[in-house]
A = this chain, B = another copy of it.
């Protein structure tokens, strides 16, 4: 029977989608089982800590993705403006042009925030810091860069909320375009 496909690493992307779609409380083990094709036994074999450990693994996975695809390019692309443009492109892609919600944002608003406070906080702090770094290299002074980066990271989260509330994904795309224009003006 056993020994089919799964490794822990194969399961995490599936879990990510499930948590992103249903939220932490909404992601029941039944739903997770259906979405991953794994029985409860396998799930608890990979994640002895249960749902809590699954969510932690998902947050770590998201963090890694943003570190590699957004924060590092923001910091390391020699032309800061290209790094910023890259951030907007990847952000649009990641959230499927506003059709997907930000799992970290969902966790931040829920009372599961306390449980995952460190991961939730560092996601936003790192993003804002990386963007501020790029803005500073683009010539902004430190205070302006920090304020602007917080505005932009916040506006992205807010646009996801509005796009979902209004059932209008285009609002997310339009907001991203205006934010980018503001930063690269």
Contact = CB atoms under 8 A, between A and B. Distances in A.
Q: How many copies does the complex hold?
A: 2
A121 B157 contact: no
Q: Which of A26, A106, A150 has most chain B Cβ within 10 Å?
A: A150
Interface in A76-118: 101, 104-106, 108-111, 113, 117
A153 to B, nearest CB: 7
A23 B113 CA distance: 12
A106 B109 CA distance: 6
A151 B22 CA distance: 27
Dominant secondary structure of chain A at its interface with chain B: helix
A61 interface: no
A130 to B, nearest CB: 15
Most buried by B among A26, A157, A164: A157
A162 B165 CA distance: 18
Contact of A164 (B113, B159, B166, B175): B113
Interface centre among A104, A125, A166, by most B CB within 10 Å? Answer: A166
B164 A111 contact: no
Interface in A130-163: 147, 150-151, 153-162
A165 B121 contact: yes
A121 B167 contact: yes
Contact of A153 (B104, B147, B162): B162
Contacts of A108: 161-162, 164-165
A124 interface: yes
Given A150-B175, A151-B175, A157-B158, 4 more contacts: A23-B109, A25-B26, A106-B110, A147-B174
23 contacts: A23-B109, A23-B110, A23-B111, A25-B26, A26-B110, A101-B109, A105-B161, A105-B165, A108-B164, A109-B164, A113-B165, A121-B167, A125-B166, A150-B162, A150-B175, A151-B178, A153-B158, A153-B162, A154-B158, A154-B162, A155-B155, A157-B158, A158-B159
